[in-house]
Structure 1
Amino acid sequence: MADSAPLRILHCFRSPVGGIFRHVRDLVEEHRAAGHEVGILCDSSTGGAHEDRLFDSIRPHLSLGLTRIPMRRAIAPSDFVAIYKSYRHIKSLQPDILHGHGAKGGAIARLIGSALRVNKYRVARLYSPHGGSLHFSRSSLSGQAVLRLERFQEHFGDALVFVCDYERRTYEAKVGKPRKVSQVIYNGIKDAEFETIGADHGAPHFLYIGMLRDLKGPDVFIDAFARTERAVGHPLSALMVGDGPDRDRYEAMMAERGLGRRIQMKPAMPARDAFAMAKIVVVPS
């Protein structure tokens, strides 16, 4: 790779939140360090102040720019507008590689990449599921439709990149064995992330950190906290850090159970800062 010409790489994904965003930020930094030109295309309606700070931290690496347009999580008529705007922008960038992350990002990268190739433009189309469609069940009609759509979209891609073997096995079980080239490339961890983080003596017992939506299990955390209090026979304390569409519902759930004073909630922040605020981290998802 070091002896080849620099590549123009565009990462496409919907939500700049959580694990996908962390994964893309790592890729951006590594690709730029290798001498490549990198850009991002993602949703403009998700994320908050914390995500804005994260974008600012990688903006110097984005020589192909940061472009944000509205993208809904569910399939909707507005997707046609998003795809058209994305097509015009991507065509102007003339990328060598389109890497789609998650279901919406994967659709944009593969469909637009295929449209460019019809017009005799050479571009590689990569896809990393990162969960996305793989959260659906084959036992439901909606799940069957989404998973069949995933299978159909394989015709428009060149390769699948899985971040762990569990993701690969889930894809094979729900969608099928990939018909195109596939590879497991594990997420990396930086040396600084192995440094010990200490918590204050009076810190809360438990920490939940992650997106506040049922898929990640905040409701399970709240229920487990209440059961643990009953099991040990005395009050405990906890902290929930994150943002998401169901935040108000979880606050109401805690109020109903009388847990509002013992479980605090804080907006999304750097993970290491949150880890220092509690004694035990409860990992979601």
Structure 2
Amino acid sequence: MDSRPLRILQVLRAPVGGLFRHVGDLTRELAARGHSVGIVADTLSNDSQTEGLLQALSPHAALGIHRFPMPRLFGKGDLTTPFAVSALAQRLDVDVIHGHGAKGGFYARLAKYGLSRAKVFYTPHGGVLHYPKTSAPGRLFHSLERILMAKTSAIIFESAYARKTYSALIGEPSCRTEIIHNGLRQEEFVPVKPNVDAADFVFVGELRALKGIFTLIAALSGVKRADGSGATLVMAGDGAERGSLEAQIDQLGLGGRVFLLGAQPARPTFAKGRIAVVPSHAESLPYVVLEAAAAQLPVISTNVGGIPEIFGPTANSLVPAEDVLALRGAMQSALDDPEKARAEMNSRLAHVAAGFSMARMTDRIEALYLGG
């Protein structure tokens, strides 16, 4: 296997959320191993943390951070950005292009048409897997996936679920595939102690229906503390559906029980709640579940995507997606029996610590880049 330093371009659309966290972590680790890394990201998608995160990542991105318009579905940027990424990759003389998410994957593989030498890797991160076969975007995205597979050195799936779903929706990959779970830094396994005034529950994620935010508020309305008062919830995140969420909170009279913090880093936010809730309707392998488990919070989550792979021996406690009563029952049970919740948390922690480390993730991705 080759061991020389590589010139690597990481391509993603929105520099927000778990996908961006993955790219940032991978960039730092690869740079620490002597590789030169550049980032390509969208100019259209930001949250309140984006610029600060990009600035913090800049010292590790020797090939620079480059911004181009990348619309979520289709738009004018799709006619210009693929050419811009290809030209950039040629100018930087990269050895590897790694596309993340649907749009990052498309741009990275389209760039291959002008690059005979570079290897191209692709990690879906959910992306195209969230579009049904029967939808118009799904038919288009899935067709493009089949066409671009010929330009793909390997597809890296972050979960066995993603690998299985990709094959069912798009077809069995004709290129190499690997399942490489996301990893956490060692310091993320230091426990987070709840604040004295911490809420009962904490949610961290985008304020989108897909993340189960409306199911969560409906479930919370019926959850009670031991003294009969209503349980409380803090929610960190931004999104287009914040207004609808606020309307639901008002309609259910939960204004004194639900606190919206805006976009916040996950780990400091965990101290503001005692039990993490991840009520998503669809996921691939969400970092927030890994982070909460490593921070030693009890976690209530839905049985979607690769979350059972994270829960491991505790997967039987997962609840169905979009089921208000099941989610409410799990939340109430965690409040009523904290010792059981903590025992489950310890079992999950051991599973995550053994299989989801940053070093393990980077070792395997680096080996692929180098041809191992």
- Tell me if TM exceeds 0.5: yes
Distance 2:105 2:215 in 1: 30
1:89 is matched with which residue? 88
Alpha carbon RMSD of aligned pairs, Å?
2.0
Contact 2:194 2:273 in 1 (8 A): yes
| Map of 1:161 onto structure 2 | 156
**Partner residue of 1:178 out of 169, 173, 177:** 173
- Residues in 1 aligned to 2:137 and 2:259: alpha-carbon distance in whole angstroms: 36
Instruction: Give 1:1-285 correspondences, 5 Å limit.
Output: 4-117=3-116, 122-229=117-224, 234-285=229-280
TM superposition shift of 1:252: 1.9
- Matched residue SS, 1:29: helix
The amino acid of 2:231's aligned partner reads L
Unaligned runs of 5+ in 2: 281-372
Pairwise CA distance, 1:141: 4.0
Task: Check 1:89–1:284 CA distance in 2 against 1; reply closer, same or farther (3 A cut).
Answer: farther
Once the 2 structures are TM-superposed, how far is the Cα of residue 269 of structure 1 from its aligned partner? Answer: 1.9
Corresponding letter in the other structure for 1:73: R
Contact 1:209–1:284 (CA under 8 A) maintained in structure 2 = no
User: 1:49 is paired with a residue of what secondary structure?
Assistant: coil
Letter in 2 for 1:113: K
| 8 A Cα contact 2:222 2:230, kept in partner | no
Shift, 1:136, TM fit: 1.1
CA drift of 1:279 comes to 0.9
CA positional deviation for 1:200? 2.4
Deviation at 1:175, TM superposition (A): 1.4
- Counterpart code for 2:112: G
The CA deviation at 1:284 is 4.2
Q: For the Cα contact (< 8 Å) 1:10–1:41, is it kept in 2?
A: yes
Q: Tell me which amino acid in the other structure corresponds to 2:125.
A: H
What are structure 1's unaligned runs of at least 5 residues? Answer: none
Code of the aligned partner of 2:109: R
For 1:115 and 1:249, the matched residues in 2 are separated by 45
CA distance, structure 1, for counterparts of residue 222 and residue 79 of structure 2: 47
TM-score after normalising by structure 2: 0.71
Does 95-104 or 174-183 show the bigger shift? 174-183
How far apart are 1:233 and its partner, in Å?
Answer: 5.7
Which is further off, 138-147 or 54-63?
A: 138-147
**For 1:50 and 1:193, how far apart are their aligned partners in 2?**
20
**8 A Cα contact 1:208 1:221, kept in partner:** no
Kindly tell me: are residues 198 and 108 of structure 1, through their superposed partners in 2, closer, same or farther at Cα, counting changes over 3 Å? same
Tell me how far apart the structure 2 counterparts of residues 79 and 141 of structure 1 sit (CA, whole Å): 17
Q: Residue 162 of structure 2 aligns to which amino acid in structure 1? A: E
Higher deviation after alignment, 68-77 or 26-35? 68-77
**In structure 2, what residue type is equivalent to 1:125?**
V
* Aligned partner letter, 1:268: A
Q: Post-superposition shift, 1:67? A: 0.7
Deviations 1:204-253 (A, max 9, x none): 111110111122221221122123359x9632211110112222221122
- How many residue pairs get aligned? The number is 280
Q: Distance between the aligned counterparts of 2:12 and 2:6, measured in 1?
A: 19
Between 158-167 and 43-52, report the one with greater CA deviation. 43-52
Task: Write the distance in 2 (CA, Å) between the matches of 1:86 and 1:179.
Answer: 25
% same residue: 40
